[in-house]
Structure 1
Amino acid sequence: MTDSGSERPTPPAGLDDDLRETLEGLSERDPETIDAVATYAAELADWVESTERDTVSPEGVPERATVSETEIAGTAYRYYQWREGDEIRSKTVELE
């Protein structure tokens, strides 16, 4: 919590006008609502990051590859499989 004499925070630079307007409106809300929105924004950022990480194929694997996940002896793996001409290719990657 900041003391009442401190300066009001400014939104991050580079935001589009709609988002800047939304943040200005949020500044008029009660602290509980702002905290709830902050929690949601953090969870949303984590979800977006994990979704992006899940959709990025490893080097040498085309985006059109079929992807499946499995766990063997407590270790998670992602298995990629795709066709190149008459051949079926695959790659297995251990998940972190």
Structure 2
Amino acid sequence: MSYEPPASPAKLPTEVVNTLNDFTPEHLRDVASYAEELAEHKEREARLKEELGEDEVEERPDNLPDDVPSKASITIKEINDNRYYYWQWREGEKIK
């Protein structure tokens, strides 16, 4: 391992590099973990928008009913010109 500090990515803004240089190793690891999770989240949202079309992706409600897990999504069924909305999620092999 080199004793020289790593070179910063050219695309990274200078103010971000300067801020990171002031962080402790523990904070840098926290930032790295958060950045990785945030990148995965944004990539997943981009894939959903691409697959479903931007108009079909809805924000998750903040207040789910008590018996509905946070991983649930709202499913819309249209039968005889009537729309039915219900929560749907997977538990093991079952869809509830």
TM-score, scaled relative to structure 2: 0.50
2:16 is aligned to 22
Percentage of matched positions with identical amino acids: 30
Q: Structure with the greater relative contact order (CA < 8 A, sep ≥ 6): 1 or 2?
A: 1
Moved over 3 A (4+): 62-71
Whole-angstrom distance in 2 between the partners of 1:66 and 1:21:
34
CA distances 1:27-84 after superposition (whole Å, capped 9, x unpaired): 12110000000000000110011000010037xxx6556897678xx5x9xxxxxxxx
- The Cα shift of 1:22 comes to 1.6
Contact 2:8–2:17, Cα closer than 8 Å, also in 1 = yes
Question: Structure 1 42/63 Cα, relative in aligned 2: closer, same or farther at 3 Å?
Answer: closer
Relative to structure 1, the CA distance from residue 65 to residue 54 in structure 2 (aligned partners, 3 Å threshold; closer, same or farther) is closer
Larger strand share, 1 or 2: 1
Partners of 1:66 and 1:7 in 2: how far apart? Answer: 46
**Of 25, 29, 33, the match for 1:31:** 25
Residues matched between the structures, number: 66
Which has the larger helix fraction? 2
RMSD: 3.0
* Unaligned residue ranges in structure 1 (runs of 5+): 77-96
Which residue identity lines up with residue 51 of structure 2 in the other structure? Answer: S
